[in-house]
Structure 1
Amino acid sequence: MGSWLMHFDATATPNPPLPPVKTPEFRKDTVNITKFGAVPNGLTKSTAIQQAIDACSKAGGGVVLVPRGHWLTAGIEMRNNVNLHLAKGALVQFSDNHADYHLIKTSWEGVEAVRNQALIYGENLENIAVTGEGVFDGAGDTWRAVKKNKLTETQWKRLTASGGVVNEKKDTWYPSEQSLKGSTIPEAFYIRPGKQTPKDFEDIKDFLRPDMIVLARCKRILLEGVTFQNSPAWTIHPLMSEDITVRNVYAFNPEYGQNTDGIDLESCKNGILEGSTFDVGDDGICIKSGRDEQGRKRGMPTENFIIRNCTVYHAHGGFVIGSEMSGGARNLYVSNLTFMGTDVGLRFKAARGRGGVVENIFIDNVDMKNIVGQAIIFDLYYMAKDPVPLAGESTAPPVIKAEPLNEGTPTFRHIEIKNVTCNGAETAIMLRGLPEMPVKDISIENAVLQSTKPMLCIEAENIRLKNVTLLSKETKPVLEIQNSQNISFDNLKYTAGADLLMRITGDRTKNIKLTNTDTKAAKKDVELGDKVSKKVVLVSKN
């Protein structure tokens, strides 16, 4: 594991040893959408953008220019060798008429599904780009359901008065009866016996929200400079594509917007994400690779990516892997990220049934502020809940019983995290594996984490913390370790006068090491549970 990190230093070696990312190139020929009848008044809906893209591609490619102005359009399909360029001041408004969009077979949350085609869509294309300083608005508020507890009382009254329908519990607003109907059907969008074609889903069309931009099975992609806002669902979604460059983009969705991830790199290979900003209603920067059996059958990990110099504001997670990671993820180099106000900072999540291996992940230089939940979390027992419990929800950890290993057992291993700060979180570090598959080979080095609760380690193996400071308000204990093995702390610092430094429980816990750590700064150093021998803990100065 260490040999990988030797190659990665965000300052000294900005480009880790990965395959070069192939970038698109375009002819200089420019096609202006006004030549196809586009009117910049925000009222006149036209197909001018699509006509310009088609004409440009047919002529051999080039740049389609959207000049400054307010342009109303239905969905857009990309074509080979086209750079769709939004000039500064250009606002492309997608239609709020759902009849302007059609249902297609696609993938949603890693499973074969039927959804409305993405507002910007491309499949099996090469050499494509969306660039410029303009804005795409996805009219997401006409598609998304909204939970009452996500709004103020005034906002809720204004929303319900605008139209739409409310469910029987009066706790969720839906933009239409179709949308409400879809919400009552478990996994309504998945293809299954009896529902195989898009026509079979017409009765819940409004529920099947489109993503903002999907580029599926494409090669040589560039997204640069543009703003994607108000997406109905996921915002930027490269799917089973390769050679991807995403630079200086901005994704903005309301904080209450369900499933409005910033960017989802799903089963993609070779790319760079840099200089971008995400302020969304779900995960910010997310790595995925399919779900459960279908994801394992696809067998396409997300691999060979550099992710650097990005900022995430509101989001469920800042940088996230999972939970749909059944095809695996590997060789990701992540550096120079800032999270402010996210529910979780670094978030790694999976569950039984997923399978897949997440490995060789290297993270360097992450700064966080006002994290609502965990600053760093590894969780193989993710249960598809919001990371921050709502009022009245239980916060007690579940009782996890061992199950036999099988192809659905997920694995997280060989992950190194360096140079992290967090000013404010509910929990600094949480690691929770499974009895049959612990999270393993995790290194956290050079971190200063301020939080309410310090560290919880359950079902983990080969965990190393070096030069980590845990400044927590609750200190009984600082380190909670359950059924974990080969856990080492070197030069650990913690809140002075802590009630208890370490509580160790579980009959499978062994080999816990404390090195270069002042155990006397706590009122009590170690508390052992039943069936835990004193030999489990080794304290030394070096």
Structure 2
Amino acid sequence: MEQQMASQRKRALPAAVLLLVILCASCPGTVECRRKRHGSLVWRGEKGYEGSSTFSYRTMGACRALTVSVKDFGAVADGVTSNTKAFQAAVAHLKKEAPCNVGGGQLYVPPGRWVTGSFNLTSCFTLYLHREAVILGSQDMNEWPIIDPLPSYGRGRDAPGGRYSSLILGSNLTDVAITGNNGTIDGQGAEWWSKFKGQKLHYTRGYLIELMFSDQILISNITLVNSPSWNIHPIYSSNIIVSGVTILAPVNSPNTDGINPDSCTQVKIEDCSVVSGDDCVAVKSGWDEYGISMGMPTRHLLIRRLACVSPTSAVIAIGSEMSGGIEDVRAEEITAVDSESGVRIKTAVGRGAFVKNIFVKGFVMKTMKMAFWMTGSYGSHPDDGFDPAAVPVVSGVSYSDISAVNVTTAGRLEGIPGAPFSGICISNATIEVIKSKKAPWTCADVEGSAAGVSPPPCAALPDGGAAAGSCPYPSEKLAIDLVELKECSSAVPR
């Protein structure tokens, strides 16, 4: 097992190193680079941290009234002992002794390697990881209990029926933060990937973090590695900030999506770096008839300063599960290296709902299979109960200020016969395509316009048609982008 995990880490390393080089290319030094890229949620740096009696953190709600260490509940940092009961007991203690009306509680994870199975969070709660703290997902699958499938999916993504719990989860919560000084949560996913590929799992794999039906979620300044499947999955939730997060998995690991906002509103993802075996960010809202019945769209999403390496998947995927609808997605200052596609829209007959008002601005890509990709025939279904008359509507998709080099195909744009994707706009896009006998663009069942695009797009997007030579991008800020986080400090538990 150790040899297998070491091999997986080695395969992830070149892509991770490449990503870090790109991120810091414009910065004079490592620490300064981190500060610039992580914006307001800046890493505090390492000087003065060791031996300090206090540490700083931020919340979307109140500063925490009580901070305790997981060690206080019997946890052992030897990388072997199961600490599931200790984490669960610590959260229960804080829920009782530091409720929301006094500001809530904070669980401090000190340096060490802390093995745990699934544990639930509570409201008005912060999980804080020291930079040398590593939370390790238990290798005992019995410590990931089986739970019901998501109502907007009707079944698990990997297999019909239930699913394994996520490592860190919660439901119906308010004001939750998972943060730290770049501590690590390691899902130890190699065994899960092996069993999945060998079709030895009867249930869908768990995620690293899943929060449901919750409000005011902050996930910042942590590193997530080797998730069994998706890494961060907020669902049926609102007012979410994911900032300064690094996500790493081998590029051949199955379905290790980075950040998947799902039936969520008012979401900001900024200053994050992802190397994964699937989409770096995947925007979702339910699957076929189950998502249509749930009727919870993803709306008002901002993705800013994202860096991605994903050789077999998209930098940002819209869908394929989008049956609650997806609207008002904004992506800007995106960097992609060695990835399959830029922003990919995936849908199919049976999905229903809509994808509309998608805005992309300032996208730099290097070594890509496709710069632009959208398809209306991404036909996986949860079961045979989908409605063949549920035809999705895709409209208002804008790309501007795009630069791409070493690209195999400029664009593959394929809508739905009889229901073309409309309002596609591309402006100020320069794509250096590898010499090939294949046409740089393929288009079918799409309608739109272009301006200043090289190589010239297909006839369905006539150059010069974009109004004023550029595609639209909203000028007003989203409400989540106006949220000011509260600065807090706490004594380090001894």
TM > 0.5: yes
Aligned mate of 1:139, from 165, 176, 188:
188
2:86 counterpart residue number: 48
| Percentage identity across paired residues of the two chains | 31
Three-state SS of the structure 1 residue aligned to 2:291 is: helix
Give 1:112 shift: 3.8
- Superimposed CA distance per residue, residues 448-488 of structure 1 (whole angstroms, 9 cap, x where no aligned partner): 11123421111112x11101112xxxxxxx6555xx5xx32
Matches within 5 A, 1:172-211: 174=198, 179-180=199-200, 182=201, 204=202, 207-211=203-207
Tell me, in whole angstroms, the C-alpha distance in 1 between the residues paired with 2:127 and 2:135.
Answer: 12
Matches within 5 A, 1:269-418: 269-314=265-310, 316-371=313-368, 373-383=369-379, 407-418=389-400
Q: Which has the higher contact order (CA 8 A, sep 6+)?
A: 2
- Counterpart of 1:55 in structure 2: which amino acid? H
Three-state SS of the structure 1 residue aligned to 2:396 is: strand
Give 1:490 shift: 2.0
Matched, 1:26 2:69: no
Give 1:208 shift: 2.6
1:469 counterpart residue number: 454
- Superimposed CA distance per residue, residues 20-64 of structure 1 (whole angstroms, 9 cap, x where no aligned partner): xx9333324211111111122112222222221221122222211
Matched, 1:488 2:480: no
Tell me, in whole angstroms, the C-alpha distance in 1 between the residues paired with 2:61 and 2:191.
Answer: 34
Matched, 1:225 2:207: no
- Counterpart of 2:235 in structure 1: which amino acid? L
Matched, 1:85 2:128: yes
Aligned in 2, Cα 1:117/1:374: closer, same or farther, shift over 3 Å?
same
Give 1:491 shift: 9.4
User: Is contact 1:467-1:491 (8 Å) kept?
Assistant: no
Tell me, in whole angstroms, the C-alpha distance in 2 between the residues paired with 1:31 and 1:418.
Answer: 48
Three-state SS of the structure 1 residue aligned to 2:94 is: helix
Tell me, in whole angstroms, the C-alpha distance in 1 between the residues paired with 2:433 and 2:323.
Answer: 32
Tell me, in whole angstroms, the C-alpha distance in 1 between the residues paired with 2:402 and 2:457.
Answer: 18
1:118 counterpart residue number: 166
Three-state SS of the structure 2 residue aligned to 1:490 is: coil
Tell me, in whole angstroms, the C-alpha distance in 1 between the residues paired with 2:112 and 2:457.
Answer: 57
Tell me, in whole angstroms, the C-alpha distance in 2 between the residues paired with 1:95 and 1:426.
Answer: 41
- Counterpart of 1:454 in structure 2: which amino acid? P
Give 1:383 shift: 4.2
Q: Which contiguous aligned blocks of 4+ residues in structure 1 show a shift greater than 4 angstroms?
A: 478-481
Aligned in 2, Cα 1:89/1:109: closer, same or farther, shift over 3 Å?
farther
1:496 counterpart residue number: none
Give 1:248 shift: 0.6
User: Is contact 1:24-1:129 (8 Å) kept?
Assistant: no
- Superimposed CA distance per residue, residues 357-384 of structure 1 (whole angstroms, 9 cap, x where no aligned partner): 111111110100111x211112112245
Give 1:119 shift: 0.8
Give 1:410 shift: 1.3
Give 1:108 shift: 8.6
Aligned mate of 1:431, from 413, 416, 423:
413
- Counterpart of 1:118 in structure 2: which amino acid? S
Three-state SS of the structure 1 residue aligned to 2:260 is: strand
Runs of 5+ in structure 1 lacking a partner?
1-13, 15-21, 146-163, 165-171, 183-203, 386-404, 471-477, 493-514, 516-542
Tell me, in whole angstroms, the C-alpha distance in 2 between the residues paired with 1:117 and 1:134.
Answer: 22
Tell me, in whole angstroms, the C-alpha distance in 2 between the residues paired with 1:136 and 1:426.
Answer: 36
- Counterpart of 2:446 in structure 1: which amino acid? A
Tell me, in whole angstroms, the C-alpha distance in 1 between the residues paired with 2:233 and 2:63.
Answer: 23
- Counterpart of 1:135 in structure 2: which amino acid? T
- Counterpart of 2:93 in structure 1: which amino acid? A
1:107 counterpart residue number: 150
- Counterpart of 1:51 in structure 2: which amino acid? A
Give 1:96 shift: 0.2
Give 1:110 shift: 3.2
Q: Is the deviation greater in 450-459 or in 109-118? A: 109-118
Runs of 5+ in structure 2 lacking a partner?
1-38, 40-58, 157-161, 382-386, 470-494
User: Is contact 1:422-1:448 (8 Å) kept?
Assistant: yes
1:71 counterpart residue number: 114
User: Is contact 2:122-2:170 (8 Å) kept?
Assistant: yes
User: Is contact 2:349-2:379 (8 Å) kept?
Assistant: no
User: Is contact 1:109-1:324 (8 Å) kept?
Assistant: no
Matched, 1:455 2:441: yes
Give 1:173 shift: 5.1
Q: CA RMSD in A?
A: 2.4
Aligned in 2, Cα 1:242/1:281: closer, same or farther, shift over 3 Å?
same
Normalising by structure 1, what TM-score? 0.68
Aligned in 2, Cα 1:307/1:173: closer, same or farther, shift over 3 Å?
closer
Give 1:72 shift: 1.2
Tell me, in whole angstroms, the C-alpha distance in 2 between the residues paired with 1:77 and 1:320.
Answer: 29
Give 1:322 shift: 0.7
Aligned in 2, Cα 1:138/1:109: closer, same or farther, shift over 3 Å?
farther
Tell me, in whole angstroms, the C-alpha distance in 2 between the residues paired with 1:77 and 1:363.
Answer: 36
- Counterpart of 1:136 in structure 2: which amino acid? I
Normalising by structure 2, what TM-score? 0.75
